Every structure is written in C-alpha cells, then in structure tokens.
Amino acid sequence: MHWLSPFVGLLALAAAAPSPPATFTEPVKGIDNKVFKRIVHFLKIAQATYAGDSCHIKNVPRLATFYNATTDIYGWISRDDATRELIISFRGTVSDINHDQNLNSTLADMSATLPECVGCKSHGGYYLNWLSIQDQVYARLQEQQEAYPDYSLIVTGHSLGGGLAGISSAHFLARGLRLTTFTYGEPRISNPAFADWLDLHFKTGSLKTTGYLRTTHANDGIIPIPATSLGYRHQGLELWALDPPSAQNTWVCPPEGFCAEASNNGTGINTPHIFYFGVGSGNCTKTV
C-alpha cells in the first residue's frame, strides 16, 4: 500500500469499521503508569520543539525540520529507535504572526483537503497554518517512512502546536496512515461534525482503544477557547493532569462539561498552560 493514496486510506477505514465512541460519561481518576510515562515523554518533545534547531534530545535524533516563514509554522520529524517510532512535533505560539492566527476562530470548511469528513470544519487560523506546511510535512515524512517503513507514527504538539497536531492527524489518517496523537493544552479546533469524525476514527471511547490522547492541565486557560457558543466542540477523550503530577493524579474524562472544561477558571496563556508535568514551553530536556 502506498501511504500517500487517500483512496486506499478510505477503504482501510471502511474495512476497519470503527466502533462508536463515547461509552463512558463520568470522569475516572487514575491512569496506568505506562500511559502516564508515554504522555510525559511526548510532552517533553512537544515542549522542546519550541527551543528550535539548537535543541537535541538524547536518543531521539531529529531527521528533518519543516518551516514556513510566512505563517511562522515550524516543527520536527524525529526518530526513536527504542520504540521504533517516527515523531512529528509542531511548535506552538512564539510570535505575533502565530498569535494573529490563534485569534482567527472563523470555522474553515475542510472539504478541499479532507472530503471524507462530511460537514467538517476546523479553526480557521490553524487550518491555514496546516495548509501552509502540509506539502513540506508530507514530503519529509514520506522520505522517512521509506527509510523506516515499519516504524509507527506519532504526532504531537502543545497549544497551537496541539491544534496543528489534531488537524494534521485527521489528514494523515485519511491517507491510510496509522498513528497515535498526543496533544497538550490544545484549544478547541473542531465543529461537532469534525469532533465526531475524530472520535469515531481515533476510537476515543475508552483509554484502551483511543489513538488520540488529549492532555489538559489543571485550569489551563487555553482549553476552553474558542467557546462552544462559536460552534466549537472538543473532540476526544481527555486526560486531565492535576498537581503534583502522577499517574494517580491524572483523570480520564469524556469531552466537554467535565474536568478541565468544567472546572476551568483560568483564562488565556496562564502558568498551567505553559507548564505541563513541570516542563515549560522551550525546555530542551534530555539534551545530549
């Protein structure tokens, strides 16, 4: 199967007949230690991506960077031989250009690039950001997938980077790629149709099945924006990390109305948004 064929991807999705999501309706306290370690691991990579080209993570060599100067969107493709994974990470907000895009909450029709997701709309600024970088990402990823054909794909990012991770993940999935997505401090990115599509195809109905782990933290002020009154809805199962960070202190929550969204009394880019598990945006941890 050629991974770039969207039609092969669609058939694979149809054949897989994903089961309906949302089987749980109440938050549950505590997660498996292995899952906790995984969400902390990818958080470190997502936060390190802000540090730019000078940051090198031990045992996770960077294979490529992608950048569009017009939109100031930047990210890495890295490789982890221990877990046999290729990791795409998107940087979050660092500039006024990024911030202007954050504020464009007009819902964008995605039918030009994601026709299989009927009626789906995403955050207008992030969608334009994705369009500005998609050719580079597909090209760099294809090179690495040809070199490491049996490696699985991970997509991650924090904040705006989490939004791009979410939107790009839908596109990767529609191209027949199998992947797991880890986002942190992700704002709302979808209308209800897109949220449902992500829930269905990433099987977010339980922590056992989900391919999309959306981690939130305490009262991170970015989680509740853009507002549901603007036509937005969070997709996916949420992992709500409380302090002090631990597997036991992390909740598994259904989207909307619970956990970070319900308890949220923070606004904008506050300390709980910048620091996850004690690691701040731009911290280049595990450096050589």
**Catalytic annotation present for 196:** no
State which residue, 226 or 236, has the beta carbon closest to ligand NAG.
Answer: 226
Site map 118..137 versus ligand NAG, x via CB under 6 A: ------xx-xx--xx--xx-
Q: What is the DSSP letter of 226?
A: S
List own/partner pairs for 24-27 with CB under 8 A and 24 or more apart. 24/205, 24/206, 24/252, 24/254, 25/254, 26/254, 26/258, 27/240, 27/251, 27/252, 27/253, 27/254, 27/258, 27/259
Structure tokens at 265: 């009394």
Nearer to ligand NAG, 209 or 283 (CB): 283
Which positions from 78 to 117 touch ligand NAG by CB under 6 A, shown as an x/- string?
A: --------------------------x-x-x---------
Number of residues that make up the chain: 288
Burial of 90 from C-beta contacts in 10 A (0-12 / 13-18 / 19+): buried
Is 283 a binding residue for ligand NAG by CB under 6 A? The answer is yes
Which residue's CB is nearer to ligand NAG, number 22 or number 128?
128
Question: How many CB atoms are located within 10 Å of the residue 223 CB?
Answer: 25
Q: Which of 177, 213, 218, 223 binds ligand NAG (CB under 6 A)?
A: 218
Interaction between residue 281 and ligand NAG (CB under 6 A): yes
Q: Which residues bind ligand NAG (CB under 6 A)?
A: 68, 70-71, 104, 106, 108, 124-125, 127-128, 131-132, 135-136, 218-219, 263, 265, 274, 280-283
